[in-house]
Amino acid sequence: MSLRRATASPLFTPAAEDRAARKAARHQLTRATSRARRAAQAHTPAAVGDMHPELRPQYPAVGRPGPASGRGGHLKLPAHRVTTATACGAYPFLAEGGLGSEGIYVGRDLHAEGAYCFDPFALYGKLDGFTNPNILLAGIIGMGKSALAKSLAVRATSFRYRVYVPCDPKGEWSAVSAAVGGTTIALGPGLPGRLNPLDAPARPDGVPEDDWASEVRKRRLLLLGSLARTVLHRDLAPMEHTALDVALDHANAVAMAEHRTPLLPDVARVLGNPHALDAAYGDPASRLGAAAEDLAHALRRLIAGDLGGLFDAPSTAVFDPTSPMLTIDLSRLGSSGDDTALVLAMTCASAWMESALADPTGGRRWVIYDEAWRVMRHTALLERMQSQWKLSRGLGIANLLVIHRLSDLLSAGDAGSRGRALAEGLLADCSTRIVYRQEADQLAAAAGLLGLTGVETEAVSALTKGRGLWRVAGRSFVVQHILHPAELQVFDTDTRMR
């Protein structure tokens, strides 16, 4: 058998071929080359400047600046035709293959030049290291974070996922919710909407009555504790904890006797009456009533103070589990420098929503915390979020947290503090991290917290509107989010600027 040598020339011409065959091959190559040249001339690519911004390549033709730059424009080699099977052996490290076509369409993967789809529920269990469906989205103002969150939400509804937005401080989600036939509850002074944060969710099938009652009690205590801590700006003393649970039990007993759900004023009334509290505790000499003075005043803020008339009456909205989207508009709560009112409202609203989210048969759901950076400094709220995060897999919930800078997570407290640990825990529990453009002085912090490589960090500094670095369980993509014109119309937050 003669030994034949193959070369990787544009057409294979085994060396042992006779003269006539080699000549025929040469002619064939000349013809193929001139055909290819004609085809190339017919299709002159548009200059980058004329391209639609969304379709511009991530890097210029000369490659990234720097030594290891993957330059494209300078190589002068003859055209090389091979099958894709051979090409992927010859060029194995060019671009990520993507996450597959399953899930919600997001836009274009700029490295692979293909469509990019994402669905945390579809990826769960399929991708190594993808341990939870939660997402962190960080980027400076105006880069399209909310637009991305809204797109994901709207597109998710067509997969029959339900979307909940427990806190919408700018009121920009109401139009989105209306567009998909969802519900919006607007809360604020003078508005008719009321939520009773002590509402109990319907008991799931198969859970014994007693177990459910103790679960509901636990949730209510957690909520009251969060509210008190937020107003008092400190942790509760042991006697205050006791006072809270005695007051809650007493208020609950009174409400049950009247066949209604307890309200915050019921609890506040017991706390504000030392004799009643001591009597309810069963020990008149316990001084529990005196110890609960601060608590009583803290709760009063939600009843008679600046937040009066929002959370102190039976809910005006019933939780509709079939509604595709539910948003809580808190934009009327004032945008003064003090975020306490917003945090209290968000605590109550999310407690009300969570009680409905706790239904494990409720299907797959998204919970979106837009503008979450405003509330990251409040440990009580972080605690609620953390418990929600931990439940996410069991309940089929994907949480999406939108912040400005990664250092918003660090502002939750000093190193080693509880707030800081909670915030870092939230970050660790997000298998998907999407980084939009960061300020130059934030790049190092972002790279450190997310473990970005030098190339990824550089990519983040060059991102434009709607373009983000997606880190999904250690794999990374640069994705241009593409908005449908109809979406753009509903999501636009720039109208007033123009």
Ligand X SMILES: Nc1ncnc2c1ncn2[C@@H]1O[C@H](COP(=O)(O)OP(=O)(O)O)[C@@H](O)[C@H]1O
Report the interface residues with Mg ion, using CB under 5 A: 146
| Total length of the chain | 498
Binding mask 472-491 toward ligand X (x if CB under 6 A, else -) reads ---------x-x----x--x
Given Mg ion, ligand X, none, residue 478, with its beta carbon under 5 to 8 Å by kind, binds: none
Contact criterion met (CB below 8 Å) for 445 and 411: no
Given ligand X, Mg ion, none, residue 328, with its beta carbon under 5 to 8 Å by kind, binds: none
Q: How far is the CB of 371 from ligand X (least distance, A)?
A: 8
Alpha-carbon span 384 to 392, nearest angstrom: 12
Amino acid at 256: M
Q: Which is nearer to ligand X, 266 or 370 (CB)?
A: 370
Residue 466 as a binder of ligand X (CB under 6 A): the answer is yes
Q: How far is the CB of 51 from ligand X (least distance, A)?
A: 14
Q: How far is the CB of 464 from Mg ion (least distance, A)?
A: 16
Q: Which is nearer to ligand X, 168 or 249 (CB)?
A: 168
Given Mg ion, ligand X, none, residue 116, with its beta carbon under 5 to 8 Å by kind, binds: none
Q: Which is nearer to ligand X, 271 or 483 (CB)?
A: 483
Q: How far is the CB of 8 from Mg ion (least distance, A)?
A: 51
Site for ligand X in 254-283 (CB under 6 A): none
Q: Which is nearer to ligand X, 162 or 481 (CB)?
A: 481
Alpha-carbon span 143 to 419, nearest angstrom: 28
Alpha-carbon span 487 to 91, nearest angstrom: 38
**Residue linked to tokens 């123009």:** 498
Given ligand X, Mg ion, none, residue 142, with its beta carbon under 5 to 8 Å by kind, binds: ligand X
Any idea what DSSP says for residue 65? Answer: S
Q: Which is nearer to ligand X, 267 or 434 (CB)?
A: 434
Q: Which of 261, 479, 463, 248 is nearest to 352 (CA)?
A: 261
Return the residue nearest Mg ion (CB atom).
146
Structure tokens at 494: 């720039």
Given ligand X, Mg ion, none, residue 323, with its beta carbon under 5 to 8 Å by kind, binds: none
CB burial of residue 240 (10 Å; 0-12, 13-18, 19+): buried
Give the CA diameter of the chain.
114
The CA angle 195-238-214, to the nearest 5 degrees, is 50
Binding mask 409-448 toward ligand X (x if CB under 6 A, else -) reads ----------------------------------------
Please give the backbone phi and psi of residue 284, each rounded to the nearest 5 degrees, phi first.
-60, -20
Q: How far is the CB of 365 from Mg ion (least distance, A)?
A: 21
Q: How far is the CB of 154 from Mg ion (least distance, A)?
A: 15
Alpha-carbon span 80 to 57, nearest angstrom: 23
Contact criterion met (CB below 8 Å) for 481 and 107: yes
**Residue linked to tokens 């720039």:** 494
CB burial of residue 472 (10 Å; 0-12, 13-18, 19+): buried
Given Mg ion, ligand X, none, residue 396, with its beta carbon under 5 to 8 Å by kind, binds: none
Q: Which is nearer to Mg ion, 170 or 332 (CB)?
A: 170
Site for ligand X in 133-172 (CB under 6 A): 139, 141-147
Q: How far is the CB of 372 from ligand X (least distance, A)?
A: 12
Alpha-carbon span 12 to 10, nearest angstrom: 7
Contact criterion met (CB below 8 Å) for 119 and 159: yes
**Residue linked to tokens 């836009």:** 107
Alpha-carbon span 166 to 372, nearest angstrom: 11
Site for ligand X in 215-234 (CB under 6 A): none
Given Mg ion, ligand X, none, residue 141, with its beta carbon under 5 to 8 Å by kind, binds: ligand X
Given ligand X, Mg ion, none, residue 378, with its beta carbon under 5 to 8 Å by kind, binds: none
Q: How far is the CB of 370 from ligand X (least distance, A)?
A: 7
Could you tell me the end-to-end alpha-carbon distance of the chain, in angstroms, rounded to an integer?
78
Q: How far is the CB of 193 from ligand X (least distance, A)?
A: 24
Instruction: Out of 245, 293, 294, 492, point to the residue binding ligand X (CB under 6 A).
Output: 492
CA-CA-CA-CA torsion sign (332, 335, 341, 345): positive
Q: Which is nearer to ligand X, 110 or 264 (CB)?
A: 110
Interface with ligand X (CB under 6 A)? 139, 141-147, 465-466, 481, 483, 488, 491-494
